Amino acid sequence: MLHINDLGYRIGPRVLIEGATVHIAAGQRVGLVGRNGSGKTTLFRLIRGEAQPSGGSITLRPRIRMGWVSQDIPDGDTSLIDWVLNADLERKALLEELAVREATHAAADGMRIAEIHERLLAIDAHSAPARAAGILTGLGFPAEQHDAPVSQFSGGWRMRVALAAALFPKPDLLLLDEPTNHLDLEATLWLQNHLAVYPGTMILISHDRDLLNTVPDRIVHLENKRLVAYAGNYDTFEKTRRMKMDLAAKALGKQLEQRRKIQGFIDRFRAKATKARQAQSRIKLLEKMEVPVPIVEEHAIAFDFPDPEPLSPPLITIEGGVAGYDGKPVLRNLNLRIDTDDRICLLGANGNGKSTLAKILSDRLGLIDGAMRRSQKMKIGYFAQHQADELNLSATPLEHMAEKMPMATETKVRSHLGRFGFSQQLADSKVSTLSGGEKARLLFALMTREAPHVLILDEPTNHLDIDSREALVSALNAYDGAVILISHDTHLVEMVADRLWRVGDGTCSPFEGDLTDYRKALLEERRAAARETRDADASPRETGSDKKEDRRVKAEKRAALAPLKKRVAEAEKALDRLTAAAAEIENKLADPKLYEREGGAQVVALQKDLGAVNAKIADAETAWMQAVEEYESAEAEQD
């Protein structure tokens, strides 16, 4: 499918890629990883032909269809569904040609019209509206919005439309660069399942560990200007790479020790006539030996949030709160409490009010009604991605921080910047030269300059690479204050949050369970919605035709859909059985008597059984979603 051979690329004097070689076979799902600024997005531009290499070659299989998320934000009066449908250029061209030829009624067009119909059938064009609607719904657009013009939506939502347009045509080679950046947690979970069964070849750039563990079957690492391929998902890559580095370090140590001994012999006996020949022999041996290259691991970024002064709990309480804009409520019946040791994640689809609640808690928005009490000495640090747009591009991080800390010495200002990986050189660089991840780290430094008691983080990981995300996890877990988190990064949520609040249906309430339980709840909601759709489609319709004929038509439709309906039902039953089995094992593991007895082996066996069942549950969920999508597509064709 794709062959990259001895590839080189430079920007002026800077060499970005050199001697890079990798081969990607048809059907592989590849995760492309590497530090921010290593050249991953540039490699995509080279593959698409938007940039020319300075050396080597990129060879693609002839006549393949390549797809990617366009950087041009969708706009205009075109509806969401039409924008996605128009992304399939072949289908669009065939339908336009068909309309013209059928309008002319020319006898000579009969053969071509038949060919067009045959091709439309081959590319499954008739189910296209249902497939496009399914992708839009999965990415967070309810059915009532599908006919709305693109121009009605904000930039982040339009980028979701662009993602839908890239997924819909099912290109032979799909290139995705950070596809979850504009998604909420719900849409991210849907995308994981959708990409995990993608039928074509895919290269995915992402810093989302869960996505890289769910979707790719191969990881390609861009490091030291070269490409190195690893089998398996991201966790497997990390373990394999660590083992290779350990082995290389041991080999390097042995080689250096061997060279030291040879050099010692040469130095000792070179001047002695009786040993001169042996010394000369060892000099030649030393010259032939490969010069050892020390292993230099990329510098890891570390975060260090300053701990606040102790305050008596609670930090914040809200009773009977109503929040909204211009007097129009978005959230009602808010009864919430935040204590010093809380680690809370706000769940819910975009548009449900998570950011509104974050603004209320950070005192950037007042309540319409109700009461909110907070400690007078409490300080709050608030992070939102849009704040990066408010940075002065011509100023340096040092100047930004000095402006916020007017009474501090330069040494103290630099010391605080150093907590977030800003060396002296980086602190003196203009913001315009910083990467997205470096700008995010500057925002972390700015928001924590006064040692806040509460950190409110709204999508803090969008521009952070995986190592920086791990550093953020460590820093938040070491931080001695409260954390309110809004994030689509499931790994961050699982590693940091110990409480989940669900924002939806016009309010915010605690969610009892962990993120796995939340995934199951979302899946059940989708099941319920699918059942409601089937029930609604199955309801009687007044057509004015003969009742007997109407019953016959409905019977034929039911017969045609019966195998698919049966498949959906069987998939649901299989999922229910596996869920029940997992619950039974969890109950056994929760029994204290199991641990009172000498049942270590039994505990291990049960844990292995639970892991195997959970893996089967993930496969069963994917099978159920596929069955539902095929059933709904078949239904749409009959309507």
Write the pLDDT tens digit of every residue in 399-449: 999 998 988 899 999 999 988 888 888 888 888 888 778 888 899 999 999
First to last CA, the chain: 38
Both 367 and 398 in a single domain? yes
The answer to whether residue 305 is domain-embedded is no
**53-93 pLDDT, tens digit each:** 888 989 888 888 888 887 667 888 889 999 999 888 888 88
Residue recorded with tokens 């915010």:
508
Kindly state whether residue 357 falls inside one of the protein's structural domains: yes
> Are 369 and 278 contained in the same domain?
no
Is 80 exceeded by the pLDDT of residue 45? yes
**297 in any annotated domain:** no
Residue 516: the pLDDT is 82
Residues 573 and 508 in one domain: no
Confidence grade of residue 322 (pLDDT, cut at 50, 70, 90): very high
* 337 and 258 within one domain: no
pLDDT at 543: 44
Confidence of residue 319 (pLDDT cuts 50, 70, 90): very high
Number of domains making up the chain: 4
Q: Are residues 243 and 202 in the same domain?
A: no
pLDDT band at 291 (very low <50, low <70, confident <90, very high): low
* Residue 219 banded pLDDT, cuts 50, 70, 90: very high
246 — pLDDT class (breaks 50, 70, 90): confident
| Domain final residue pick, 477, 512, 547 | 512
- pLDDT in the model for residue 272: 65
Report the alpha-carbon distance of residue 118 to residue 120 in Å, rounded. 6
pLDDT digits (tens, 9 = 90+) for 481-526: 999 999 888 889 988 998 999 998 899 999 988 888 888 888 777 7
Question: What mean pLDDT do residues 268-273 have?
Answer: 65
Domain around 177: 1-65+171-232
Residue 140's SS3 state is coil
Q: What is the mean pLDDT of residues 230-251?
A: 80
In this structure, are residues 87 and 150 in contact, taking their beta carbons and an 8 Å threshold?
no
Angstrom distances, CA of residue 78 to CA of 81, 92, 148, 614 = 8, 14, 8, 43
C-alpha distances (whole Å) from 590 to each of 498, 500, 585, 602, 612 are 19, 22, 9, 13, 18
Indicate the helix (H) or strand (E) that contains 579.
helix 547-589
Report the SS3 class of residue 608.
helix
Label the pairing between strands 29-33 and 201-205.
parallel
Token readout for 530 is 């699918």
d(CA 505, CA 521): 15
CB atoms under 10 Å from CB of 214, counted, come to: 20
Which of 480, 512, 544 corresponds to the end of one domain?
512
The least confident of 68-82, 90-104, 586-600 is 586-600
Q: Is the torsion defined by CA of 538, 543, 548, 552 positive or negative?
A: negative
Residues 370-399: pLDDT tens digits?
999 988 889 999 998 677 777 888 899 999
**Helix, strand or coil, per DSSP, at residue 28:** coil
| 119: pLDDT strictly greater than 90 | no
Whole-model pTM: value is 0.67
Considering the domain boundaries, does residue 310 fall inside one?
A: no
Average pLDDT over the chain, rounded to an integer:
82
Do 326 and 396 fall into the same domain?
yes
Residue 518 in any domain: the answer is no
Size of the chain, expressed as the number of residues it contains: 639
Q: What pLDDT, in 10s, does the model give residues 151-171?
A: 888 777 888 899 999 998 888
Give the rounded percent of residues in the chain with a pLDDT score beyond 70: 84
